[in-house]
Amino acid sequence: MIILFLSPALMLYLLLFLYPALRAFYVSLFDWNGFTANMQFIGLGNFTELFSDQHFWKVVMANTFGIIFFGGALTFGIAFFLSGMISTDLKGKKFMRGLIYFPSIINPVAIAILWSFIYNQQYGLLNGFLKAIGLGMIQPTWTSPDVLFWAILVAIVWMYSGFYFVILSSALERVPVNQIESAKLEGASEFRIFFTIKIPMIWDVLITSIIYWCITAVKEFSLLYAWGGGVDIPQPGAQNLATYMYMTAFGRRLTMYRMGYSTAMGVIMFFIVVLFYLVITRLTKRDDIQY
């Protein structure tokens, strides 16, 4: 009976998830445009070319790891700060939680348009603010090629901070009140209570959130691709592993229809996710603590 009821879901999983994943490893061994039956077997040729692609490592992977590490530090730093505030006796918690979470439900294309207006050199919000405080002579180009990645990173952090804030704040609300009250009676400050009582008691939720962030950051696509309007090859500052893989498979100009090569990038993406998972779970493993 158990097998009978699990079979439909299992078949869907095998057909729509497991088979395409295994097929990707197979396709990565061929020189193939994705549209014909002619697949030329080249073994590890795609991976050899990939590891010698300087643009892939110096731009694409640098941006990818930048989103993971710098974006992750900013996102969780903001989420921790806001969670610490909400977990105190602050009035209007529900309203504040909804307000902070709001950017996470906006379509990434709309976010790209919004931040493009904010960064606009002539009538953008940032340069308008500089004019208002008497610093109109500065007016930097916020989306110039040398700082474009950091400009987009700010938008990514703004988009995801609310999501992880909700996860962390929900976990913090499950911390036993008697533990917090006992610490307050002993004279512990809110800062010490947060890091010595609350964080250890939501450790599993925190680690799961970090792993989920790594997966999300590696495959972030919509915001970066929409930043350039989605009609041309994104600028180097807007290229990460997901956008570069899409450009190589379906892009225009010199990168047209290299399905085998782009699938090799997908295999690299898979191993990056697995590596991050193994490293994070290994470094954060600890014995069960009784509270």
Q: What is the average per-residue pLDDT within 118-135?
A: 85
Whole-angstrom Cα distance, residue 285 to residue 291? 17
Q: What is the average per-residue pLDDT within 13-25?
A: 92
Q: What is the average per-residue pLDDT within 213-226?
A: 92
pLDDT over threshold 60, residue 85: yes
- The domain defined by 56-283 folds into MetI-like fold (1.10.3720)
pLDDT over threshold 70, residue 253: no
Whole-angstrom Cα distance, residue 90 to residue 99? 15
Question: Where are the domains positioned within the chain?
Answer: 56-283
Report the percentage of the chain scoring pLDDT > 70.
93
Q: What is the average per-residue pLDDT within 153-161?
A: 95
Q: Please report which helix (H) or strand (E) contains residue 40, including its range.
A: strand 40-41
User: Residues with Cβ < 8 Å from 7, sequence gap 6 or more?
Assistant: none
Alpha helices in the chain (DSSP H): 2-13, 19-27, 45-51, 54-55, 62-66, 72-86, 93-101, 108-119, 125-132, 148-172, 177-185, 190-193, 199-201, 203-218, 222-227, 241-250, 259-283
- Supply the mean pLDDT for the chain: 87
Report the range of poorest mean pLDDT among 29-43, 61-75, 130-144.
130-144
The encoded tokens of residue 287 equal 């014995």
pTM comes to 0.87
